Structure 1
Amino acid sequence: MSLMRNLNRALTATTGLQVRKAPTQPARTKAAQPAVPAATYRRPALQDLPVERLLRRPVFIISSVRSGSTLLRMMLGAHSRLHAPHELHLGRIDVICNNWHSQRAMSTLGLERGDLEHLLWDRVLHRELVRSGKDVVVEKTPANAFMYERIRDCWPDARFVLLLRHPESIARSWHESDPVKRPYDTAVRDALRYMEAVEQARAAGLGGCTVRYEDITAEPERQMRRLCAFLDVDYEPGMLHYGRKGGSELVRGLGDWRDNIRTGTVQPGRRLPKDDEIAAPLRPLCAAWGYTSRVGADAAA
């Protein structure tokens, strides 16, 4: 007689109950995760910045992918007063209160989730700046184009550099960086999201200094002088000879401006596309960014 039978006999005699094997339950489908609500935060007033922020007047490059932002970052980073670290993707750093007690404690301090994230972002950038021994931090992550409003709210005294490049050149470069993963049509669609975000920042009156990749490759000294004047630092010739800092890791995947990174000196850009070479979805932005009159011209002319 099995153990289960003996156990049930004893249970029945004493309690009137029996043990039965539970029926097999059908596999449960994983419930969809609820959407994370937008972070709540307050924008500090300028007079409160000494308490709310460690950084003063940080600089953010607003650009699409494949627009030459790595080249610009390295040129600015070669300045003795400008620190331009690698892409930091601050927008992907979240702060979460794990229970009601911590959330209530932070709320009592006037700090909601977004406020805590802003404090962390500010500390990360300030740490990098202090470690560099320089005066001004320059952050360039293409995804910043999607969160320019929040950057402006986090640092009300932030300065912005809008970097433009011919939309068709951006799409081709994005395609050529990984032709298997990104066929041309896919590259156009993906890159267009970034370009439209940059255009929204321009249309919103973000201000700052606008510079073109084609102008940087054609007249590097003139453009660096413009940027230095905007950033309130003296121009330094070393910005045009930024060396090979970072080695091959920076070169890998940089596409059509990899020679700029290898040599440490600015090289001429590619020929600008002709009218009939521009994908239809990109033509409105070409007009908005003033490239229609430049179509067919050489970027180094």
Structure 2
Amino acid sequence: MRAPPMAPIFRHPFMTERLHRLAVAICGAGHSGSTLLGLVLGSHSECFYAGEAKKTLFIGNLEKPRRKRVCKICGEGCPVWSRFTQPPEPDVYAQVARLTGAPVIVDSTKKVDWLRARAEELDAVGVPHKRIFLARDGRAVVNSRVRKYPDEDPRQVVDGWAAQIRETQAFLDERPDDWMLLRYETLATAPEASVREVCAFLGLSFEPEMLRYQTREHHPLGGNTGTQSVVARAGDVDDPAFATVPERSRDYYESLRGGFRLDTRWETELPDAVRELFDARAGDLNAPFRWDSSC
């Protein structure tokens, strides 16, 4: 297996002390593009994208499915996660920073209780915790969930999306100066402007290589297999651990070679009955996030 080109390890001048100086949480609902944004941010010379860092709790736990406890690209032989120790000391992000040499760690875990606990740890050592609310039209999110889990009750899917959005908004409201809103649809259609805005919010310089995320080396835990398959394919990874796209989405992702494409499959896939159910139960909540691709 040949891995993608290794980005130079960033050497921070305070490496003998605490290397980690910023944590970034990509918040919101699943199926909203957080893997894409994470890979973009992880392509910055000062950043490492951990994927869903809560899955560090599964590392070494043989009772958990393999795909949930190893790197989605490398598997057990990952140069990062194979060296991760459990429980992490002094904390998850500090250990990942030491293992990767990156002072900025990006986490796309959506569970608010996890993010709140990490924020409390970071407060104790004086490390900032920035949050990016990556929002997507809820109808697209529900469609992705229904496609992936066709046996789920659509009512529960809709209510689950609404509950996650409300919980995320409450979490963000706790620190109104520490978060920004980014639309998935804007990221997909105006990537450079979007990434520049995110970099400015995080206090990072924009690097053009971030837009060529598929050419960089990544080691995510969890996340969207389809988006990860683009990275694996671009890096000539002959046998990616789990970045193999299921049949239901294979045609869509195999046509991608990196870059950005607005995913509007929901407009033709979402059944009318589910669309009506969504509008009735969550239409008002979704109003700020609605996207009309015809405009």
TM-score normalized by structure 1?
0.61
1:210 is aligned to 181
Which letter does structure 2 place at the counterpart of 1:252?
A: V
1:263 aligns with 2:230: no
C-alpha RMSD of the superposition: 3.6
Taking the aligned partners of 1:64 and 1:277, their CA distance within structure 2 comes to: 18
Taking the aligned partners of 1:285 and 1:241, their CA distance within structure 2 comes to: 34
Matches within 5 A, 1:268-279: 268-270=262-264, 278-279=278-279
1:35 is aligned to none
1:153 aligns with 2:124: no
Is this contact kept in 2: 1:68–1:257, CA < 8 A?
no
1:30 is aligned to none
Q: Deviations over 1:34-54 (max 9, x none)?
A: xxxxxxxxxxxxxxxxxx976
Taking the aligned partners of 1:204 and 1:261, their CA distance within structure 2 comes to: 41
Displacement of 1:276 in angstroms is 5.5
Taking the aligned partners of 2:88 and 2:53, their CA distance within structure 1 comes to: 12
Evaluate the alpha carbon distance shift between residue 217 and residue 262 of structure 1 in structure 2; reply closer, same or farther with a 3 A threshold.
Answer: same
| Counterpart pick for 2:35 among 63, 70, 82 | 70
Evaluate the alpha carbon distance shift between residue 123 and residue 147 of structure 1 in structure 2; reply closer, same or farther with a 3 A threshold.
Answer: closer
How many residues get paired? 220
Q: Deviations over 1:103-152 (max 9, x none)?
A: xxxxxxxxxxxxxxxx9375332222222232311111122x34443332
1:58 alignment partner, SS class: strand
Q: Deviations over 1:175-226 (max 9, x none)?
A: 112213x242232233333222112223434432211111111111110000
1:26 is aligned to none
1:298 is aligned to 293
Taking the aligned partners of 1:258 and 1:271, their CA distance within structure 2 comes to: 9
Matches within 5 A, 1:236-247: 236-243=207-214, 244-246=230-232
Displacement of 1:272 in angstroms is 7.7
Taking the aligned partners of 2:256 and 2:89, their CA distance within structure 1 comes to: 31
Q: Deviations over 1:11-62 (max 9, x none)?
A: xxxxxxxxxxxxxxxxxxxxxxxxxxxxxxxxxxxxxxxxx97632211111
Is this contact kept in 1: 2:23–2:130, CA < 8 A?
yes
1:264 alignment partner, SS class: coil
2:53 alignment partner, SS class: coil
Q: For structure 2, which runs of at least 5 residues remain unmatched after alignment?
A: 1-16, 59-86, 215-229, 234-239
1:280 is aligned to 280
Q: Deviations over 1:241-268 (max 9, x none)?
A: 2114345634536969963995221112
1:125 is aligned to 93
Matches within 5 A, 1:187-226: 187-206=157-176, 207-226=178-197
Taking the aligned partners of 1:88 and 1:152, their CA distance within structure 2 comes to: 13
Taking the aligned partners of 2:155 and 2:279, their CA distance within structure 1 comes to: 9
Evaluate the alpha carbon distance shift between residue 232 and residue 223 of structure 1 in structure 2; reply closer, same or farther with a 3 A threshold.
Answer: same
Matches within 5 A, 1:1-301: 55-89=20-54, 120=88, 122-143=90-111, 145-156=112-123, 157-180=128-151, 182-206=152-176, 207-243=178-214, 244-246=230-232, 249-250=242-243, 252=245, 259=253, 262-270=256-264, 278-287=278-287, 290-291=288-289, 294-295=290-291, 297-298=292-293, 301=295
Evaluate the alpha carbon distance shift between residue 151 and residue 264 of structure 1 in structure 2; reply closer, same or farther with a 3 A threshold.
Answer: same
2:131 alignment partner, SS class: strand
1:109 is aligned to none
Displacement of 1:162 in angstroms is 1.3
Q: What is the percent sequence identity of the aligned residues? A: 22
Evaluate the alpha carbon distance shift between residue 187 and residue 58 of structure 1 in structure 2; reply closer, same or farther with a 3 A threshold.
Answer: same
Taking the aligned partners of 1:236 and 1:257, their CA distance within structure 2 comes to: 31
